[in-house]
Amino acid sequence: MECNAVAYDTPIPGYATKNCANIRLWKATPISGFDLNSFNAGNYEASVHASSEVGNITQVLYPNDNMYQGKLLRLQQQYLWTSASLQDILRRFIKLEKPWTALPDYVCIQMNDTHPTLAIPELMRILLDEENIEWSQAFAITTKVFAYTK
């Protein structure tokens, strides 16, 4: 299922300070929304199927994963959030016009649980498939960017 990840920034003011941090949250939206042809043919459920299916990804955090559908939804959530965040980080890095080998000097991604670990193969995928970086160099960059605590 393809979808767009729409960023929503939420300011987090500090206590007894003039500083304000920002947390970026993501919402899944369909690439193609309402299907007018299905609606006009009387198939009302199909006309909104894509919107409701995609909307489920970010509707509820941590769905029950005791069944297959829950496991699938959790995987979709994890991929959407890690991929969207990683692509946003890389978009900002690219603006610096630095070589990819400098990425670990500017970016460190701390993972405190297993959920965001999909970002590791996603960074490898981006570096290999989209940036055409050799495997050994992409792996070296990736291993320097990520840190893990559990």
> C-alpha distances in angstroms, 134 versus 97, 123, 150?
19, 13, 30
pTM of the model as a whole? 0.82
**pLDDT at residue number 112:** 87
What averages of pLDDT result for each successive group of 10 residues across the chain (150 residues)?
Answer: 89 90 90 69 66 80 88 92 96 97 97 88 97 98 92
Alpha carbon 133 to its chain centroid, in Å, reads: 21
Tokens of 47: 């006309």
According to DSSP, the residues that pair with 25 across neighbouring strands are: 8
